[in-house]
Amino acid sequence: MNDTATPQGETLDTRGLYCPEPIMLMHNKVRDMAAGDILNVIATDPATTRDIPQFCHFLGHELIEQTQEGAEYRYRIQLG
């Protein structure tokens, strides 16, 4: 796992991790961030295509973008 800050937001790399680990790491990461901040998540677990939109819906974050590049899933989230 790797997380980095860029001008485009924070990046949380959860490649190789499986449910529920990506969501648990996201919960921990957003605690250190402010409303309006951008979180980019990279994942390889197909369950994230269901879990991350639900995470955003229930916690009031906006899922700005969701894409798949090969076996990687990428999410861009604006914190609410």
Q: Among this protein's residues, is 56 annotated catalytic?
A: no
- Do the Cβ atoms of 33 and 68 come closer than 8 Å? no
What six digits make up the tokens of 14? Answer: 């959860």
Give the active site residue among 3, 15, 17, 19: 19
Give the catalytic positions in this structure: 19
